[in-house]
Structure 1
């Protein structure tokens, strides 16, 4: 960790030209606030990670009945690599807010905003295990699959589970997201539209509750289906992994819990739990193929009410 690097980057942001956030300073400060972690791997580990991803693809294809390919980019990253990969995503999403300008004291506003974003990215970089990135709001149709090796190693130790087995389970979760977006070609544009509507409203000083509500409902389906699919496709015992990871999502010291709440981790945890409960109920009542109908059409997404009453969704869709 190099806090001097972070402080210098944010101080320099005040004099930088541009919008209300200096994204180069954000990346520099975020990387100063978190150790990159070790990426030194023996050839055997590299082969094992590739085997994990292939096994996840094959197992998920069989379990879901969805034929899909792996993303164009599959990377094992350090925390700093993850920051670099995600700065552009944050910049794209927040562009409408940036276009407001810096206000009365643009330099001060730019430093505060850049510092806030740097803290956010540094915290996320310490906690993200893996990520399927459909590159929302980007030009082109590329997708990325990332594994943050230092975090997976650390959490495996914290949970007292074997690193190879835990890493493999995380691979199943992230590849499950690839299956979802492959099964639902409309999903990326749907999420993009809801996101743009919500951020555009914020840039005008209003809150589009409908857009953010629809975005949250869709992401609850995305996370819940992946939870169901990863468990049912995984080729090893997972009950202890599920229990320990669920406990970790709600744990941490007081400061960590506060940051999780501020950054929306509590909402993310609710998405996991609520979505998983919905799809478990559907799959138990019918089967996994019926649960997969959610991706056939955007109108098949469960409503907020249906998430808590799966029978309503079954009556409407299945």
Structure 2
């Protein structure tokens, strides 16, 4: 994965160790918690990650047969360090960036971004972790959200684990997914060497056409990214967006499909969690969310879940699983919002 022959520019110009150090220092402190509360959260999250595996395998039909690996429960600085390491591997970076000053500057910028994101991440499956994939759960954020939503802590912790364990099952049952992500990322982060006049022309076209575009990926910062990219990079970005939408939507579908037999208050948790996603943010928060693609991420959940819900309701989970056969059976960008087109093409 990190051994791709594509020449990556992002990984080589970031001092990832410095990024992790800066991010850990800038991370906001977690919610106040006694030692008892912290230890209880650590124990319950570890147990919930194990408990979620069997119902996820049963609902998805993705049973790779491997033993259940333990989740790693971390705080915000711990997540930042793990994320920086994963990003280094994904982008083919090294511990020694190509330029000291540039590496420190980009490292500080990356660390600041990771610090901001670290307060909102509940959990994450990292397929690029050294030594194999790893499930991370961020205990301070889980505590903060369950308090905010006023829901049962044990139910909420299991509900979160159902989503993240689904990602673990997705990648372990389909090892090609990580390679597919890595190859698309290699194209996306490769120095295209485009002439500045070509980039300016693309940007001008984007500005002229922005009022007539209906593609949800064509607006905002994401639209600007696409406007200045060459065709190979646009295709790679589309691949990553579609895959992310599928993975997140599938995980959200599984969370709810497991149902009240496993999480008694699942309906209440889902309703309050959706309200939290949609609530209005302060202006600075909204700007940062837009710049970091957080709003695009939320769109991935809703559009992806609608896609999976429709296909599973029409053909059942067993036939839906054809989607994991390889890159050619993944939905096309035009099929995400029209799942019947994917059914007609693939099934």
The 5-angstrom pairing of residues 55-66 of structure 1 reads 55-66=51-62
Instruction: Give the match's secondary structure for 1:147.
Output: strand
Hey, what does 1:280 align to over in structure 2? 309
Q: Does 1:253 align with 2:282?
A: yes
Structure 2 counterpart of 1:75, from 72, 81, 84: 72
Q: 1:96–1:200: 8 Å Cα contact kept in structure 2?
A: no
Q: For 2:189, what is the secondary structure of its paired residue?
A: helix
Query: Are the equivalent residues in 2 in contact too, given 1:39–1:78 (CA < 8 A)?
Result: no
Report the aligned-residue RMSD: 2.8
Note the C-alpha offset of 1:168: 1.0
Matched, 1:159 2:152: no
Within the candidate set 107, 110, 113, 1:117 is matched to: 110
What TM-score does the superposition give when structure 2 sets the normalisation length?
Answer: 0.76
Which residue does the alignment assign to 1:224? 249
* Residue of 203, 214, 237 corresponding to 2:239: 214
Give 1:127's aligned residue. 120
Per-residue deviation, residues 188-224 of structure 1 (Å, max 9, x unmatched)? 1111110111111457785411111111111111111
CA change 1:80–1:62 in 2 (3 A) is same
Unaligned runs of 5+ in 2: 1-10, 196-228
Aligned length: 294
Task: After TM superposition, give the deviation of residue 49 of structure 1 in Å.
Answer: 2.6
The whole-number CA distance in structure 1 between the counterparts of 2:307 and 2:12 is: 42
* Pairing 1:177–2:167 present: yes
Hey, what does 2:138 align to over in structure 1?
148
Q: Tell me, in whole angstroms, the C-alpha distance in 1 between the residues paired with 2:118 and 2:193.
A: 27
- How much has 1:296 moved relative to structure 2? 2.5
What's the offset of the Cα at 1:85? 0.9
Structure 2 counterpart SS, 1:171:
helix
Contact 1:39/1:149 (CA < 8 Å) preserved in 2? no
Would the alpha carbon gap of residues 130 and 163 (structure 1) be closer, same or farther in structure 2, given more than 3 Å must change?
A: same
Deviations 1:151-200 (A, max 9, x none): 00001111222222111100000001112112322111111110111111
Give the equivalent residue in structure 2 for 1:196: 186
* Cα distance, 1:94–1:317 mapped onto 2, change above 3 Å: closer
Distance in 2 of aligned mates of 1:21 and 1:238:
42
Rounded to whole Å, the distance in 2 between the matches of 1:71 and 1:199 is: 34
With over 3 angstroms needed to count, the CA separation of the structure-2 counterparts of 1:265 and 1:56, relative to structure 1, is: same
Contact conserved, 1:82 with 1:125, CA < 8 A, in 2?
yes
Question: What SS does the aligned partner of 1:308 have?
Answer: coil
Paired residue secondary structure (2:190): helix
Q: Quick one: distance in 1 between partners of 2:285 and 2:67?
A: 34
Q: Partner of 1:297 in structure 2? A: 326
Does the alignment pair 1:243 with 2:277? no
Return the alpha-carbon distance in structure 2 between the equivalents of residues 100 and 147 of structure 1: 29
What is the rounded CA distance, in whole Å, between the counterparts of 1:223 and 1:171 in structure 2? 13
Q: How far apart are 1:47 and its partner, in Å?
A: 4.3
For 1:215 and 1:129, how far apart are their aligned partners in 2? 21
Contact 2:126 2:134 in 1 (8 A): yes
Cα distance change, pair 311–39 in 1 and its aligned pair in 2 (3 A): farther
